[in-house]
Amino acid sequence: MFVAGIDEAGRGPVLGPMVMAIVNVDVKQLDTFKDLKITDSKLLSPAKREKLYPEVMEISKEVYSTKVDAHEIDKMREKYSLNIIEAKMASELINKLKTDPRKIYIDCPDTNPPKYQQTVYSYLDKNHELVAEHHADLNYIVVSAASIIAKVERDQHIRDLEESYGAELGTGYPGDPKTKAFLEDVVKKKKVPDFVRKSWQTFIDAHERTKQKKLIV
């Protein structure tokens, strides 16, 4: 008997992709997850997440991930809400499963979990028993495992972007000083790369501040 969990990393950042992962595991292995002290990735240090990543991969029956890059998010948001984008990602992962789990637990981004659950159902190739809940990444260890996969892969994407672009990006979140400094710099120079989410209010505000400074000068 198998059980699966889904979680994302990178919903809120102004830089980089959003990554979502699904972990499908034999219920007999859940105790092994507990022994490893797997929990919501936000409660773990980067070093601990990196250590747990290959162990989750090895123990699980199936692990899949998908990502949507910043420019893709901007384009999709012209038509869909962020919640629907996530629901589409979740259904894409579920449809990849080769072994049917008894239940699939999803960390719910919507204020209305039943509504989100039905949205995911609408994109599935076949029926599954879904449980969409707030704080599922903390309450269900299989979702915690998925959060680790998503977070480690998202962090790696950010490091790859830093290396290819040759600049410090920070975490990509609006409150990060390194992220803010990077955003202000590229907006000022009018050289905004495609890994910046231009539909984000953070970017729009930075762009407006640059225009206002020019008017004052």
What integer best gives the mean pLDDT of the chain? 95
Question: Half-sphere exposure of residue 196, counting CA atoms within 13 Å on the CB side?
Answer: 22
Q: Which fold is adopted by the domain 2-155?
A: Nucleotidyltransferase; domain 5 (3.30.420)
Tens of pLDDT, residue by residue over 40-61, are 999 999 999 999 999 999 999 9
List all residues 6 or more positions away from 131 whose beta carbon is below 8 Å from its beta carbon: 103, 104, 105, 106, 117
More confident residue, 216 or 103: 103
Taking 60 as the threshold, does the pLDDT of residue 216 lie above it? no
Supply the pLDDT for residue 215: 43
Q: What is the pLDDT of residues 105-118, one digit of tens each?
A: 999 999 999 999 99
The residue length of the chain stands at 217
User: Which single residue is written with the structure tokens 């996969």?
Assistant: 149
DSSP code at position 28: G
Nearest-angstrom CA–CA distance, 116 and 88 = 11
Residue with tokens 């977070």: 151
What's the rounded Cα separation, in Å, for the pair 9 and 19? 5
Lowest-confidence pick of 16-20, 138-142, 184-188: 184-188
pLDDT of residue 205: 87
Res 212: pLDDT? 60
Gyration radius from the chain CA atoms: 19
What pLDDT is attached to residue 40?
95
Residues 180-197 have a mean pLDDT of 93
Closest CA to 151 of 175, 136, 171, 166: 171
Tell me, what's the pLDDT at 214?
Answer: 52
Render pLDDT for 90-105 as a digit per residue (tens, 0 to 9). Answer: 999 999 999 999 999 9
- Residue of 201, 200, 206, 148 lying closest to 181 (CA atoms): 206
Q: What is the pLDDT of residue 209?
A: 77
Q: Give just the sign of the alpha carbon dihedral 204, 69, 86, 88.
A: positive
Cβ atoms within 10 Å of 151's Cβ, excluding its own = 25
User: What are the sequence ranges of the domains in the chain?
Assistant: 2-155, 163-216
Q: How many CB atoms lie within 10 A of CB 211?
A: 10
3 state SS of 15:
strand
Residue 206 pLDDT: 83
Evaluate whether 77 touches 200 at the Cβ level (below 8 Å).
no
The CATH topology of domain 163-216 is Arc Repressor Mutant, subunit A (1.10.10)
Q: Mind listing the pLDDT tens digit for each residue in 139-186?
A: 999 999 999 999 999 999 999 999 999 999 999 999 999 999 999 999
The 8 Å CB, 24+ separation contacts for 116-122 are 116/83, 116/87, 119/83, 119/84, 119/87, 120/87, 120/90, 120/91, 120/94, 122/87, 122/91
Given a contact cutoff of 8 angstroms between Cβ atoms, the answer to whether 8 and 86 are in contact is yes
DSSP H or E segment with residue 3: strand 2-9
